Amino acid sequence: MNGLMMDQPLLISTLLTHAERHHGNQEIVSRRVEGDVHRTTYRELAQRARRMANALAARGIEKGDRVATLAWNGYRHMELYYAASGSGAVLHTLNPRLHPDQVVWIADHAEDEILFFDLTFLPLIEAIASRVKTIKAFVAMTDRAHMPANSKVPNLLCYEELMADHSSDFRWPVFDEKAASSLCYTSGTTGNPKGALYSHRSTMLHTYAAALPDGLNCSASDVILPVVPMFHVNAWGLPYVACMVGAKLVFPGPWLDGKSLHDLFEAEGVTVSAGVPTVWQGLLTHVESNGLEFSTMRRTIIGGSACPPAMMRTFQDRYDVNVLHAWGMTEMSPLGTACKLKPSHLKLGADERIAIQSKQGRAVFGVDMKIVDENGAELPHDGKAAGELMVRGPWIISEYFKGGSPLVNGWFPTGDVSTIDPEGFMQITDRSKDVIKSGGEWIGSIDLENIAMAHPGVAMAACIAARHAKWDERPLLVVVKKQGTELTRDELLAFYDGKIAKWWTPDDVVFVDSIPLGATGKVQKNILRDAHQDHLLVAA
């Protein structure tokens, strides 16, 4: 016997309809590429998304066609999120930080039909326009006054003109919730990038879960500023969550330096932000060196790579900004775990609390996880046994787009090595490809990096496996010193005393001017390994 409930598919367009009807006046503020600050509302956003849906239809975009973007976080990008997916097309967010050859490869692989871009990326568009095989039109996301003069880009259209040519009279189509809604490629540090193709259903379920109090904890009382780009796993789902709960949204556009972000936090009363640790590094440096405070921001969501405990302490103890550590992957829409403390933790001392917050957290409902050894046998959740983390759930990929299935017995192997404690808190010790194997034993590089980052003279640290004559591999620390500090190798290595098993202490330190970051703000350890992996052999 079936239940007698309405059979309504879970469609992304319903988020926008809800926002327009129930919190239409809520604000969306964007710093634009054009230089000014733009204000709109969910009501206007919904109207313009419908206009854009008409414009897409008029250009022959059909259900399932890929609509690509190369754009910062801003209201026009958000309009496209809803116009493309809502009308049944697939929004494909390209990452502009990738090499142009990779952008071409991805656009061809995705078979993009049309590409919308922010003016910042005009040089990139000019470089790729004649090379991409399937894109029929390029749309500059601006008005006529700001359109580039004498551009060499063929079939160049103006976003605001396209919008003005069409009415907002559009009914969002109703279709199967399993239909594809958006496409995002992994950054592909090794080999070609791989496409994660989300569905309406997966996105909607992810949105419900992400909004939960023990998830990203978002509500109508929040003013959310996603620093995490809308071209990287849909800004961790925040453009959908904000629409669902009716939060005010603040978009930083291309201005992601510490000063610009802090100015915007203060001007717009931002309460919650989200981004990778490297972005917060820049923000904290700016705030510390100018004696500033955060007058409204009370929470920040940090993920993408491990948040160093030293950064958590600074945010929490010095600035009263609570850190929510979260973990996920492009293949997981992205949210997997969030590290909200349990009530029993609140009476713990500060150090013990930070130790728990440094873990990546508990699975949000919808994500099931387990850890396994090399033979696939399940390991205990005792907080000690470390193995490959496997996940499954309705917003985790079953296959890559045109790329086959990576699943092992129905589970997605994350490529992360982790422990899970009896309370359900998962902690990543490493990516499996970054693990340091010394004399057959694993050493977790994240722990070693976190300790180095707690030293006042260290701006940034990465720990890699260096080849070793006796032990096969030993940890080697690569460090950028804070400007104007004196710091020696011996001082830094002595800092490990008593904090970690003696044999885990890195063998040596290489001081460098900068550490290479990839297109999503993560340390590119493969480049560091290429440069330094023979360091200990040479030194010996």
Pick from 341, 186, 203: which is nearest to 211 by CA?
A: 203
Give the angle subtended at the CA of 401 by the CAs of 327 and 304, to the nearest 5°: 15
Binding pattern to ligand ADP, positions 312-331, x when CB under 6 A? -------------xxx-xx-
Q: Shortest gap between Cβ of 280 and ligand ADP (angstroms)?
A: 12
* The binder of ligand ADP chosen from 428, 462, 463, 479 (CB under 6 A): 428
Q: Shortest gap between Cβ of 79 and ligand ADP (angstroms)?
A: 25
- Which residue is associated with the tokens 């000690």? 384
CB-nearer residue toward ligand ADP: 88 or 308:
308
C-alpha dist (Å) from residue 133 to 151, 157, 412, 523: 20, 18, 32, 32
Stretch that binds ligand ADP, among 7-15, 29-37, 298-306, 498-506 (CB under 6 A): 298-306
CB atoms under 10 Å from CB of 130, counted, come to: 9
* The binder of ligand ADP chosen from 353, 431, 433, 467 (CB under 6 A): 431
CA distance 225 to 479: 30
CA distance 224 to 28: 10
Does 93 sit near ligand ADP (CB under 6 A)?
A: no
* The binder of ligand ADP chosen from 74, 304, 366, 387 (CB under 6 A): 304
CA distance 186 to 475: 27
Q: Shortest gap between Cβ of 304 and ligand ADP (angstroms)?
A: 5
Q: How many residues bind ligand ADP (CB under 6 A)?
A: 20
Parallel, antiparallel, or unpaired for β 137-140 and 156-158? parallel
- Residues within window 348-387 making contact with ligand ADP, judged by CB under 6 A: 360
Q: Shortest gap between Cβ of 39 and ligand ADP (angstroms)?
A: 31
CA distance 186 to 215: 23
Amino acid identity of residue 388, one-letter, is E
CB-nearer residue toward ligand ADP: 50 or 340:
340
Binding pattern to ligand ADP, positions 182-211, x when CB under 6 A? ----xx------------------------
* The binder of ligand ADP chosen from 522, 526, 527, 531 (CB under 6 A): 522
Does 414 sit near ligand ADP (CB under 6 A)?
A: yes
Structure tokens that stand for 102 in this block:
């990779």
Structure tokens that stand for 255 in this block:
């201005």
| Maximum separation of any 2 CA atoms in the chain, in Å | 74
Structure tokens that stand for 265 in this block:
């936090």
CB-nearer residue toward ligand ADP: 3 or 404:
404
Pick from 104, 252, 195, 231: which is nearest to 520 by CA?
A: 231
Amino acid identity of residue 320, one-letter, is D
Binding pattern to ligand ADP, positions 502-521, x when CB under 6 A? ------------------x-
* The binder of ligand ADP chosen from 88, 215, 254, 303 (CB under 6 A): 303
Q: Shortest gap between Cβ of 480 and ligand ADP (angstroms)?
A: 20
Residues in a beta bridge with 27: 41
Q: Shortest gap between Cβ of 231 and ligand ADP (angstroms)?
A: 11
φ and ψ at 478, to 5 degrees?
A: -110, 125
Does 234 sit near ligand ADP (CB under 6 A)?
A: no
Contact 432, 413 (CB under 8 A): no
Applying CB under 6 A, the residues found at the interface with ligand ADP are: 186-187, 303-306, 325-327, 329-330, 334, 360, 414-416, 428, 431, 520, 522
